A and B are shown apart, each in its own frame.
Chain A
Amino acid sequence: MRSDAANLLSRLGQGKFKYQEFRDNFADMELWPLFEALIRDPRISGTDEDSRSLFTDDPAQGRDTGTPTIPHAEPVRVAGLFGGYGAQASASPPATAPRRPQDDVRSLLKRLNDQVAAGEL
């Protein structure tokens, strides 16, 4: 910390800075396609049964094949905030039932907004 900042804090009787909080209106939040892609990624949503973890045993890559690996969990039912995405992904694959990504993200943002308004976030 610079000496002038330290002196100022000392005079104010503070030990550290209090950072200003910047809040967003979720309804106006940027619709980042990356967020949408992550929510839909079966490796994250838990619907990809064939995928392998960095930390699961892979004889082709691993150094150690003699110890038990962390078992993959059964694909879990996606619940909560992202439940809509998971339910849709398992019930209606994109190839047969195209979804509207922007609507999905807007739904997510609305729910975030509601949670903030309710003091849950």
Chain B
Amino acid sequence: MPLILCHSPKGGVGTSFIAAGLAQGLSQLGREVVLLDMTAQGGVKHYFGLSPDHPLPDLEDDVIDQVAVGGVSLRSGRRASAQEDFAEALRSGDLPFDGETFYIADVASGDFALARLLQRHARLHVCALLPAAMSLALLPQVSPGRRLDTLDRTVFVLNQLDETRRFARHAALFLRELLGDNLIAQIHRDEAVNEAVGMQQTLARYAPASLALADVRKLAGIVDVLTRQEPAVRDEIGSDGGPTGEGDNRGSSSRSSASSEAA
């Protein structure tokens, strides 16, 4: 069930951008990808060059006029998730989170109940962070009572990293220690992301040399590996990858990839 939950306790950290980038990156790797916009704002489509008034078909609709950009099928899951039987549909397998298709859910920061529900069925929870004080201050809300570097299915992405800023540099160093292998990638701040939305183009089309694009594609490669690893396998890789803590099943491959981002 390759459902990937993208959710952060802090809004405005680029969760939708990361969800969109993951979807595009996985599609580029040849995966079948459905991106579910579970937010009331419905903003993720802007990273695909779509207009603000471009509707997305609902998750439960029989799709005739499918919206697909660059191999990524876009759906709105907002209406479906608001229905009373959504949890039961998830439990019973009525919703199509199975097979080889990646379902990536972009969930608004304040929608903790939906995030909690989807997390139970997700292979991976990707939590975006900013190298900013307010983003770090909300870290204890992610998984209280457990060290963040020992979480099994939650990984972190440091977004909009600008190493010319002092606090950002310090925060990046601090997070590398605090999160360990669960900090799987860093995405550099890149104005091209904003400009691409303004141009109503995908980032890959508008700025193929974008550093943020390269970063997010590496992230997609790491997530692709992580979601296809069974926990036991991941444990083995973790033990090969050095002194990882108990319950830490992020592998050495992800660590090395993330480290390359840190340069």
Chain A contacts to B: CB under 8 angstroms: 1, 6, 9, 15-17, 19-24, 26, 29-30, 32, 34-35, 38-39, 41-46, 48-58, 61-64, 66-70, 72-73, 75-76, 78-82, 108, 112, 121
Contact = CB atoms under 8 A, between A and B. Distances in A.
Contact of A66 (B9, B91, B177): B91
Interface string B132-172: 01001101111111111010010000000001101101100
**Which 8 A-B pairs rank lowest in CB-CB distance, beginning with the nearest?**
A51-B144, A43-B144, A64-B87, A43-B140, A46-B147, A51-B145, A55-B119, A16-B209
Given A22-B164, A64-B91, A64-B120, A34 B146 contact: no
A22 B148 CA distance: 27
B210 A61 contact: no
A9 B174 CA distance: 33
Given A55-B115, A76-B245, A66 B87 contact: yes
A5 to B, nearest CB: 9
A101 to B, nearest CB: 15
Nearest to B192: A1
B173 A52 contact: no
Interface size, B (range): 35 or more
B163 A19 contact: yes
Nearest to A32: B170
Contacts of A63: 86-87, 113-114, 116-117
17 contacts: A16-B209, A16-B214, A34-B136, A34-B137, A38-B140, A38-B178, A43-B144, A52-B144, A54-B143, A55-B120, A55-B143, A57-B116, A62-B117, A73-B150, A73-B247, A76-B247, A108-B177
A19 B188 contact: yes
A53 B176 CA distance: 22
B60 interface: no
B16 to A, nearest CB: 19
A43 B145 contact: yes
Given A1-B210, A64-B117, A44 B91 contact: no
Contacts of B91: 64, 66-67
B246 interface: yes
Interface string B72-99: 0000000000000011101100000000
